[in-house]
Amino acid sequence: MTPHRFRSFVLVAAVALSLAGCAFYASVGPGAHAIQGKLDVTLDSTWNRQVDGASNIWPETWTRNGPLLDTVHLAPGIEEGKALVNLPENALREYPRYRAGSSPTDIVAFVQGTLARTVAASDFELVEVAPAEVAGHSGIRFEFRFGAGNQGSFETDRHALGYAFERDKQLYLLLFHAAEIHYFAAGKPAFEAIVASARLPQVRAAAR
């Protein structure tokens, strides 16, 4: 029998309505934003903040054009023995854990090891690790290129820029990674502005 097209439309209203009800992103900024009460930043424009979805495992994830093109992760106060992302313990088995007193080299490896799991990152090429002041603390600034995704998903060439410092044996990380072509350069100033605005909450400091 010759195959031919058979038009059939399925009942969709219920599914469509339920889909319409869930949104993975909400807008954030401009203005001040507190990250889990552990870090305050000020945004000079509006970003999309991830609030749902399977990949919503970082303490804070923001994007301007979608995660394939640009992503900011903020992870303040990562304690000794904890991973950068929030997942059930069995899913975290192979995620790297933070070690208090880590050297700059090891902090970069910690970040890369996490990206290897979250976005199938590999082929890391370190560009620079240098001293930097972040939120009034002496910390590091690091940059590396990498490839993300693999067959079956979208492979992208990426460039990452991160700032980190340690305080009270806890790691504070601000990370930006974006498509190497155009999006890294285009998003870098906005990310640098977020980093420059980062402050530890006054309340917490006063309470200590």
Partner 1 sequence: MNLYKRAKAICVVMLAVSLAACVQNHHRLQETLTRPAERDARILVLPVDAELFELSFGGAPTPRQDWTVAARANMNAALRGFFEERKIAVAFHDGVVDDAQTAKLMRLHAAVGQSIRAHQYDGPESLPTKKGKFEWTMGPAIRGLAPADAADYVVLVHVRDSYSSGARVAAQVVAAAVFGVALHGGMQIGFASMVDLNTGDVVWFNRLLRGAGDLRTAEPAKETIAALLEGMPQ
Partner 2 sequence: MTVGRRGFLSGGCAFCATGLMACMPADQTGRPLTGIDGSIDLGPRVAPGVRTASSASADDGLRAMFDQMERRLRVSRFLVRDGRLNAYIARVVKGMADEYAGDIRPYVIRVPDFNASQASNGMMNIWTGLLLRCTNEAQLAAVLGHEIGHYIRAHGQERDGMRRQAADIQQFLAFIFAGLGVAQATDLTNLILTASYFNYSRDHEREADEIGIRMLSTRGLAPIEAARNWENLRAESEARGLPRYRSIIDASHPDPGEREATLRARAAEMPAGDPRSAAYREGISDIREMLFEDQIRTGAHGATVLIADRWISVDAKDGLALYAKGEALRLRAGGEDEKTADATLEAALGAAETPAVAWRSLGLLRRKMGRESEARELLNDYLRRAPSAPDREIIRRTLTS
Residue 129 engages partner 2 in binding (rule: CB under 8 A): yes
Do the Cβ atoms of 73 and 175 come closer than 8 Å?
yes
- Helices assigned H by DSSP within 73-182: 104-118
Smaller CB separation from partner 1, 65 or 102: 65
**What are the φ/ψ torsions at residue 27 (nearest 5 degrees)?**
-80, 155
Residue 127 engages partner 1 in binding (rule: CB under 8 A): no
Which x/- pattern over 169-208 shows residues binding partner 2 (rule: CB under 8 A)? ----------------------------------------
Number of H helices and number of E strands within the chain? 4, 10
Residue 114 engages partner 1 in binding (rule: CB under 8 A): no
Q: Is the previous residue joined to 30 through a cis bond, with omega within 30 degrees of 0?
A: yes
Residue 15 engages partner 2 in binding (rule: CB under 8 A): no
Among 131, 168, 202, 206, binds partner 2 (CB under 8 A): 131
Residue 16 engages partner 1 in binding (rule: CB under 8 A): yes
Among 36, 46, 86, 153, binds partner 2 (CB under 8 A): 153
Do the Cβ atoms of 174 and 72 come closer than 8 Å?
yes
Smaller CB separation from partner 2, 137 or 197: 137
Smaller CB separation from partner 1, 140 or 160: 160
Q: Which residues from 59-88 bind partner 2, rule CB under 8 A?
A: 66-68
Please give the Cα distance from 158 to 100 (Å, whole number): 28
Which residue carries 């640009």 as its tokens? 70
